Structure 1
Amino acid sequence: MSELPYATYPVRIGVQIQPQYCSYAEIRRAAAMYEELGVDVLMNWDHFFPVYGPADGAHYECWTMLGAWAEATSKVTIGPLVTCNSYRNPDLLADMARTVDHISGGRLFLGIGAGWNERDYHEYGYEFGTAASRLASLGEGLRRIERRWQRLDPPPTRKIPILVGGNGEQKTLRLAAMHADIWHGFGDAAVLAHKHRVLDEWCAKVGRDPGAIERSTRVFRRGPDEVGEGLLEAGTRFFTLVAQSPRFDPAPVRDWLDFRDDMNKARLVDTASSR
């Protein structure tokens, strides 16, 4: 396996339950099923309308759902992939995250990004601005969130992990180097390996250990036999599948969980043999 500094993380498997075109009862059952299967992380997304398929249809809000998941689950880590910084006052978002963190017993991560879905902005009355202005707001929002966590009573149960999502090399990866515990990127192994190097360079510039940032990506419908080895070599250790209605299929999740268990077992053997 790779000797990259962030390759020391164990392999983790997440499932993003996309909250569109189904009932909440179906979502709740899917969350229970995936937790029972043994996934490490359950995620939703932060939009107000379906992202693909028919433009209008059943859809549910991100943070209300995460509060419900905090009570309905007991082991799995939960969080948004990703919440939009622009949709809520950052101090309020910090308080919301802190509250869900307490409800869940310390199982929340905060996935956050600059936002991109123009319809969400216009229909809910937010200023869409430009990519540059949204990224500037994300940088300020992250600083405000971190400050607010230090002032809340009670504080979060622990340092809430921050996931920064996005591939932009000049701004997003710089913000990830400054604030993220997890960086979530997009692309094949070659693209991600390049993005990891860029993130490492930003870490050096801001004085951050690149090994402190776990590397994450979405595998969508690709299986571990197809892409697992290449992504591991690139340094990725956190793999997220997409669960879509109307059929929340456990089969591809089981394949990735088997891959996780095999890779983590091999890692433990390698670690023990090197002592």
Structure 2
Amino acid sequence: MNEQLVSEDTIMQDAIRYVKEAGTLIMNHMRMPLQIQEKKNGSDLVTEVDVQSEQFLRERIALHYPHHWILSEETDGGREDSHQALQQPPAGYGWIIDPIDGTINFIHNIAHFAISVGIVKDGVPICGVVYNPVTDELYSARKQGGAFLNGSPIHVGREQEICQALLATGFQAFDWKPNSVVVEQIGRMTGKVRSVRIMGAASLDLCLVASGRLTGFWHDGLYPWDVAAGLVILQEAGGTITNRAGRPFELCDNTLVSSNLFIHNELLSLLEGELLQA
């Protein structure tokens, strides 16, 4: 077997081990009093468990892969250039981490949050692991290796028309306000799609598209740690992911539209209002 593929398979297996260990750490804090801090407003929160999970993951990666770079939410989230940093990413392997994607759900004991670890090489996402420790569902994928849920292959759904689509979206903290962009976008969906869900964890929502539970997911204002892992999983499951202009999604993009491929053009058009009179 090619030595590079062996190396990347080992990286993948280590990433799976790390997220499961972090999941145990997180579950040990479920239903316990939490120290909650606001980052930018009351909808942008962090707990000591987010920080502990991130520290654990960073320490494991640094120990076993000291030459790999790391980008993570709680350490790098305050950087104004967190998107721009990936326009010209460092060479070699890098790990992009969200220690708890869906912190508000975690705080409220809602079982829709995950640890997300995406691995890139020379800026190209090559591996993704997303783990929900409450449901013990682990999504994983390696570029050109297929996508899996707990070891079983997954594929996107087969809905052919936008009227059959179950979609999801979400708010970024800065858009949680009257007359928000998301509210306007959902209004465009009304009566055109089967329904829209807001579940609060982008990494898992991408995995739900990958496994055929959702038909599509769109979101503005995401960060690389929100999507790096789910991007690989969705693509390997046969789905597609672009920016709002329809170009292939890059980790430095600020808008994301994903789907099972079949309804993608209709979804893009609907987001732009072009199907409102159809």
Structure with more contact order per residue of length (Cα contacts < 8 Å, sep ≥ 6): 1
TM-score range, shorter chain: under 0.3
> Normalising to structure 2: TM-score of the pair?
0.28
After TM superposition, the score normalised by the length of structure 1 is 0.28
| Larger helix fraction of residues | 1
